Amino acid sequence: MARIAGVNIPTAKRVPIALTYVTGIGNTSAKNICEAVGIDPTRRVNELSDAEVLKIREHIDENYTVEGDLRRDTQMNIKRLMDLGCYRGLRHRRNLPVRGQRTHTNARTRKGPQRPLPVRRNKETHQWHAIHAARPSVRSPRTSRLGWLTSIPASTTPRS
């Protein structure tokens, strides 16, 4: 079994198909690699010599970002967006769709499973209704709706 970029590629498959098992190499890149190295795309991996596998490995290392490096670059790009605080970064941070898809009814894969609302039964009418949990206040009790200080606490006033 040939090992390229840390991945064991299947030996029974044709070379371009087997190269797509490496993360970061698709059909077009695999065909370009075969063309650049000079390998017939109809050959199988088990028909390749060690020198040809080495040529493929060196070509990929020089010209492509694959596997762990590609994953790390992708994660760093997402982290950069989140650190910038831009719209796309906020969508990543909140685990919502980033590219403008609707979220009113869809996006269950990105948002995760639905959480049921807690319900309570009214003792008088015997009907069930959802309990809407109040959002915890993020403002201090001494601030107005706009967040400005409305009164000075007694502990901070100068004593005379």
Within the chain, which residues score under 50 in pLDDT?
Answer: none
Q: Helices marked H in the chain — which ranges?
A: 15-19, 27-37, 50-63, 67-84, 87-93, 108-111
| Residue boundaries of the structural domains of the chain | 2-64, 65-99
Asked if 87 contacts 81 with a C-beta cutoff of 8 angstroms, the reply is no
pTM: 0.64
2-64: in CATH 1.10.8.50: yes
Asked if 123 contacts 110 with a C-beta cutoff of 8 angstroms, the reply is no
pLDDT tens per residue across span 90-119 = 999 998 999 989 888 888 888 888 887 777
Neighbours of 90 (CB within 10 A): 14
Q: Are strands 7-9 and 119-121 parallel, antiparallel or unpaired?
A: unpaired
